[in-house]
Structure 1
């Protein structure tokens, strides 16, 4: 490690779950140092192996490295879904979105041979969100969920059936106005956390008249990175950890407090939320 490197590297990685070469995920890097936070690597497509290369470079230079991953990272249940999926789903389904249930029965995603486990082993990161906030050095992993973050950062998305339809591959539901609204919400979320070099990227994304699925993956990678940045720099009560390190968890922004539907679903299922 470069002894002069006093910055923290935050990697946002939308993994696409299955490591399909024809449909890779996307990655971005935010660096946080004495001069504030800036977008060091704008979102670009990346496989699990390519993501590991990016992360290796970052942790070679940074004092601390956080990987904010849009994929379940702790999946002990053989079937069904995790308690945290059900809690998140209580809000996401209400706003008109969906939560992919995570279990070991999902071949290619969470079975013993799934790429996520090889990725985690190669990464060798500490999975302890609270320690990630306070530790002075090390590599840490966080599970995040962009759809839940969007509901928290933009009130217009957080009402009955108001989830943004911004997936270009779902042509019947996709709305270009929602795509533009997501780009603007991401820009404002970055501004809230004083992220530099973001406005231009969001403006270009918003101006795209025919975005593709790969463009959505890049936006989601940026949201992942912003959730990680927010976890670090915002007061702790402006973020939430749903679930636990035994059964699975998610980190999400909670700028205006935790939505009552999440609280109610967590109480009903005896799932920690803090």
Structure 2
């Protein structure tokens, strides 16, 4: 079983981070570990497709992508962003709007191209990752909402470059981000093999080197979301939007998870 995380740049002019976890554990899913076996930066669609095919082979593979995979709307935002933002805006973890006016290049959205190309390799686009499903599928995910949920954060970590955000603030956020990623070694499911990635001295990185490192760490986060979905499915995760209109799959905070489960039970009743 392989989990691949892809922090996909909206344009092939920019590099993308990609990370692969080899999943080991009991058939009953009670003790799962994702071992980081590769993490790198890729540029073109061809490089990304070749990498995925090489890593996945003919095995079951969950590919979790941080980028819009289905964008039917010309303007505005998808239902997936609207629904996720209603839940996660309070944590400052809302998603940017996705529409074809922003994303379409030469009549194509990059995420949609990826889905279409991988279909010939047996990958199917799915709106959610089901518990224990040994599938070959590609699903859109969102690291910021996942971090809030998995790490118990009150708001997102401010490690990305933004106007008026100081380098000192970003370094402090990086320290917290890496501490939380290290804590996943004892989580359920567990993560290992990423110690070397976390030992990189962020303060020594600048410009493209820093952005590449950011993309690789975020790709690792995407791969862990896939592993977490495989372990827990809808019990602890939720897919916003729909397969037809665009979707975002993410773990949920504990309190919100209980609230949504209660609402779902009432609706069924």
TM-score by length of 2: 0.80
In the TM superposition, what whole-angstrom CA distance separates every residue of 1:55-84 from its partner, at most 9, and x where no partner exists? 111222x52011100011121112100111
Would you tell me which structure has more helix in proportion to its own residues?
Answer: 2
Q: Aligned to 1:225, which of 188, 206, 223?
A: 223
**Residues 122 and 106 (structure 1), Cα distance of their counterparts in 2 relative to 1, 3 Å cut:** same
| Structure 1 counterpart of 2:138 | 141
How many residues are aligned here? 245
Q: Aligned to 2:50, which of 53, 59, 79?
A: 53
CA deviation after TM superposition for structure 1 residue 99, in Å: 2.2
CA deviation after TM superposition for structure 1 residue 131, in Å: 6.7
1:228-267 aligned within 5 A: 228-234=226-232, 236-254=234-252, 256-258=254-256
| Structure 2 counterpart of 1:5 | none
**Residues 189 and 240 (structure 1), Cα distance of their counterparts in 2 relative to 1, 3 Å cut:** farther
1:67-82 aligned within 5 A: 67-82=63-78
Task: Indicate whether 1:30 and 2:21 are aligned.
Answer: yes
Separation in 2, partners of 1:225, 1:81: 25
Separation in 1, partners of 2:193, 2:229: 19
CA deviation after TM superposition for structure 1 residue 19, in Å: 1.4
Secondary structure of the residue aligned to 1:120 is helix
Separation in 2, partners of 1:98, 1:119: 24
CA contact 1:153–1:189 (8 Å) conserved in 2: no
**Residues 236 and 117 (structure 1), Cα distance of their counterparts in 2 relative to 1, 3 Å cut:** closer
**Structural RMSD (CA):** 2.8
1:106-145 aligned within 5 A: 106-108=102-104, 112-124=107-119, 125-129=123-127, 133-136=131-134, 138-145=135-142
249-258 vs 119-128, greater mean Cα deviation: 249-258
Higher RCO (C-alpha under 8 Å, 6+ residues apart)? 2
In the TM superposition, what whole-angstrom CA distance separates every residue of 1:235-263 from its partner, at most 9, and x where no partner exists? 64122222221212111122525369x96
Q: Aligned to 1:173, which of 151, 165, 168?
A: 165
Secondary structure of the residue aligned to 2:124 is coil
In the TM superposition, what whole-angstrom CA distance separates every residue of 1:133-191 from its partner, at most 9, and x where no partner exists? 4544x420011001111111222x32xxx321101x33631521111111112222353
CA contact 1:149–1:227 (8 Å) conserved in 2: yes
